[in-house]
Amino acid sequence: MFGLVAYDQLYLKVDDHNRESFESVGSGPFIWTGGEKPMAMSYWSLPDSAFLTVEAMAPWAKLGLEAATRQASSKPPKRKR
């Protein structure tokens, strides 16, 4: 999963490799409040400018997809039952 929509906001996957790109435009993490205490998730909001054109969104989508791919490739394979 490389993105999620919550409360009418799009969030994309962030990791140590792409976090600086999101921080540099003032984005912030999705905060999940369903548990005992609020928890920052590894999905961050996008700048408003990303929604103007497909060309503006494409680099952000790529960053999110790359982060999700890195995470998936770092997990051990699932065991068959």
Ranges under pLDDT 70 in the chain? 75, 77
Q: Domain of 38: which CATH number?
A: 3.30.1460.30
Residue 63 belongs to what domain range?
3-73
The answer to whether the beta carbons of residues 3 and 11 sit under 8 Å apart is yes
Q: Does 60 map to a domain?
A: yes
| Residue 35: predicted pLDDT | 82
Q: Does 35 map to a domain?
A: yes
Q: Does 59 map to a domain?
A: yes
Among 24, 17, 29, which Cα is nearest to 67's?
17
How many domains does one find in the chain? 1
Would you list the DSSP string of 4-37?
Answer: EEETTEEEEE--TTTHHHHHTTT--EEEE-SSSS
Q: Does 21 map to a domain?
A: yes
Q: Does 81 map to a domain?
A: no
| Residue 34: predicted pLDDT | 86
pTM for the model:
0.84
Quote the tokens at residue 23: 């921080």
| Residue 73: predicted pLDDT | 86
